[in-house]
C-alpha cells in the first residue's frame, strides 16, 4: 500500500471505531435490518447467502477490506481427484486381485474345466459366513 492509501485506510478505520457497526447494505431492501451488515460479517469469495459479498458491494473491495471483511484465497493443491465412487474403486481393485495370483492364499478349482479362482482368506472370512 502506498502512503496516500495507507492514510486513507487509517482515516476509515478511525471513523469505523466499532467493528460490529453495521455499515454495509448487502441486499437491495434498505428497510430490512437484516440486510445491513458489519464488515467482519462478510467473506469475499464465499458462496453462502448469509456471509457472501453481493455484487453491489464488489466495487468497494478496498473499503470492505479496511472495514474488516475476510477474503477466501484460492489454494492450489496437488491432490488428485479420484474419478468415480470410492466403492467402485475398491471393487475394481479387488477384482484385479481376484484375477491375479498375487496376494491370494486360497485357490478354488471349479467345474469340469477345472477353472482356478484365487481368493484371499481374510476377504472370504469377512464376506462369507460358510467359512466362519
- Does pTM top 0.75 for this prediction? no
Single out the residue of 53, 33, 31, 34 nearest to residue 42, CA to CA: 53
Query: Rounded distance, CA 91 to CA 76, Å?
Result: 31
pLDDT in tens, 43-81: 888 776 667 888 888 888 888 888 888 888 777 767 666
Is there a contact between 82 and 89 (Cβ–Cβ < 8 Å)?
yes
Q: How far apart are CA 76 and CA 82, in angstroms?
A: 17
Q: Which residue pairs, CB below 8 angstroms and at least 24 apart, start in 75-82? A: none
Amino acid at each position: 500500500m502506498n502512503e496516500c492509501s495507507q492514510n486513507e485506510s487509517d482515516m476509515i478505520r478511525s471513523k469505523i471505531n466499532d467493528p460490529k457497526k453495521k455499515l454495509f447494505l448487502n441486499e437491495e431492501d434498505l428497510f430490512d435490518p437484516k440486510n445491513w451488515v458489519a464488515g467482519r460479517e462478510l467473506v469475499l469469495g464465499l458462496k453462502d447467502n448469509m456471509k457472501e459479498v453481493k455484487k453491489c458491494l464488489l466495487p468497494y473491495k478496498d473499503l470492505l477490506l479496511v472495514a474488516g471483511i475476510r477474503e477466501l484465497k484460492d489454494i492450489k493443491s496437488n491432490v488428485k481427484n479420484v474419478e468415480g465412487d470410492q466403492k467402485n474403486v475398491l471393487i475394481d481393485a479387488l477384482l484385479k486381485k481376484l484375477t491375479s495370483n498375487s496376494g491370494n492364499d486360497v485357490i478354488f478349482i471349479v467345474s469340469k474345466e477345472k477353472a482356478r479362482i484365487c481368493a484371499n482368506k481374510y476377504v472370504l472370512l469377512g464376506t462369507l459366513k460358510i467359512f466362519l
